[in-house]
A and B are shown apart, each in its own frame.
Chain A
Amino acid sequence: MSLARHPLAQSQKSQRLDHQRHDFRFLQIAGVGLFLALPFIFASLGLTSAPYILDLLSMIGLYALLALSLNVILGMAGLFHMGHAAFFAVGAYVTANLNLTYGWSIMATLPVAAVASGFMALLVAFPVIHLRGDYLLIVTIGIVEIVKIALTNDIFGWTGGPNGLIGVSRPVIFGYRVVKPHDFFYLIWLMVGISTLLFHWLENSRFGRALKYIKEDTVAAEGMGVNTTAYKLMAFVIGAAWAGMAGTIFASKMRAISPESFTFGESVIMFTIVILGGSGHQKGVILGAFLVMGLPELFRQFQDTRLLVYGAALVAMMIFRPQGLWPPKPRLYRLPAPYDQKYPGEEKLKDGDRSC
């Protein structure tokens, strides 16, 4: 993030801070580069567990994608939504049906899954969008339960009942068939990357600001001219559409889907990732996905106690760092001329590390 600053007003302290900022950014880019090179590193080392690790990283990526989509609703707009697995399910089942019954290719079902999930979100959220906080939470839990029961009961004959749907094809992208763990690794993390960029733009726009105002104080936002109902609904629709696309990838990665994959428990995991990582901060949310999905795998040998430790860690988190591990910072603007000369963002630098 760049700052408007008068060259003469630059104190030594601010220069140092600016310098650190760049180092940090370099580390982040290097980290991402190293991460994307992992399949090659594993191959050159001849690691036998490489497929397992890449598969785990793909799963983490999928949850990161889901959590990023939930972040639009929960993190940006501050709407307590604990039924995200319902929209994930709609996407997965739409893709599976179009693929199995009508022979659509997976990538062609992607936009349909997004539209279907988004439309479903519009339908279910419309009557309840005015509810606040915990009331909305309870309703969204109801939504995910209803969807799961509908799936189990083979609604409209589309869902295959408790056994689900089996035999979904692999995605084919420009003639390349995505099959191997490293294929999915790249496909999923590419989607995470694109989503992060798009959501970053969304966040730093009139739309993103409106969601921020709603999160801070809905009454004041409405009083300042923000159509709060419409913006809350849009946040729901966008988040759900993205979850639907994650459902498409999930269906073709697993090749078989069943109602067990879309339970309330899954919704809670997505909710936890967002809150734990840093509600409203995308990097924090991705970090949350690594911790929530990765750590339990890492400590698999402590099978008996890991859930206990996991629960205790969550409780400790909420007591000592309720804003999440990596919360967002206040947005910085580059002021237009002539204000960039008159009002350097000195103050901001001093407060730069304060959480929002």
Chain B
Amino acid sequence: MLILSLSSVTKTFGGLVAVAGVSLGVERGQIAGLIGPNGAGKTTIFNLITGSIRPDDGHIFFSGRSLAGLKPHSVVALGVARTFQTIRLFPRLTVLDNVLSGCHCRLVSGVVAALLRLPSQRLEEKLVLKRAMAELEFVGLAERWSAEAGSLSYGDQRRLEIARALATEPKLLILDEPAGGMNERETANLMDLVGQIRDRDITIMLIEHDMGFVMRVCHRVFVMENGSLIAEGAPLEIQTNPRVIEAYLGRQDD
């Protein structure tokens, strides 16, 4: 069953065609990789899926529902969470407060409940702390709950971003270069983490430049170049695909 499908999605910025008629589908339960040289349009695809920008043409479906015209917060509510290529935590808030931001969309208390301190609101606050702490334990950051997010190491900030995204209770998790800037040990830990997320029945789609990471983790790989999809398949097929090799290394007789 396809959880996410794009059909001939196009996006241009002024004269630049960032995404040119891309169609792809991600199976539920898969870990899908999106690779390609810099400027190929990978992050634009992610921004289109999450509603940050709108496609000029084409359709995006999530669990059989069109995402056309939805704002990012509505897309999150449907079950699509993301991390950002350049880390976008709330650096001056605590680690716990950061994860609580992910929980926001699954809570219901409003202004009146807060002003009157209704019992339901206080119960919800108690439960959400448990929920957030469980997510922090999952990524291994629970003991840093009271630290300022900006004071964490780079790798920990990436993990915190993942915890925050998981707190939104997603069905599809979109990771934009999760291993970017990580050392080898952190990358190895991240691979385990991605596997554990997948075991929670969360489909994952990720952009990554670390080919070892992509080839070992992903079930299916999509390759983009200049805004178009040039190949898709299992990691082994992709590694031997002449067009992909050409896109990355250039033509042999050049």
Contacts and interface: CB of A to CB of B under 8 A. Distances in A.
A35 interface: no
Contacts of B97: 209, 212, 330-331
Say whether chain A's binding surface is mostly helix, strand, loop, or mixed. Answer: helix
Given A206-B104, A348-B146, A228 B73 contact: yes
Contacts of B77: 225
A202 B111 CA distance: 7
A301 B159 CA distance: 60
Interface in A207-232: 207-210, 212-213, 216-217, 219-229
Contact of B109 (A207, A212, A216, A228): A207
A187 interface: no
A216 B111 contact: no
A223 B88 contact: yes
A24 interface: no
Interface stretch (A166-174, A178-186, A302-310, A337-345): A337-345
Contact of B101 (A209, A348, A351): A209
A225 B89 CA distance: 14
Interface string B78-90: 0001101000111
Interface residues of B, number: 51
A45 B147 CA distance: 51
Nearest to B116: A201
A206 B131 CA distance: 14
A3 to B, nearest CB: 9
21 contacts: A198-B115, A202-B111, A206-B121, A207-B110, A209-B97, A209-B101, A213-B90, A216-B93, A222-B73, A225-B104, A225-B105, A227-B71, A330-B92, A330-B93, A330-B94, A331-B97, A333-B96, A336-B126, A339-B145, A343-B143, A346-B146
Interface of B: 50, 52, 71-74, 76-77, 81-82, 84, 88-94, 96-97, 100-102, 104-105, 107, 109-111, 113-115, 117, 121, 124-126, 128-130, 133, 142-148, 164-165, 168
Given A206-B110, A208-B114, A227-B74, 18 more contacts: A201-B114, A206-B109, A206-B125, A207-B114, A213-B90, A220-B90, A223-B88, A224-B101, A224-B102, A224-B104, A225-B105, A330-B92, A331-B97, A333-B96, A333-B129, A343-B143, A346-B146, A348-B94
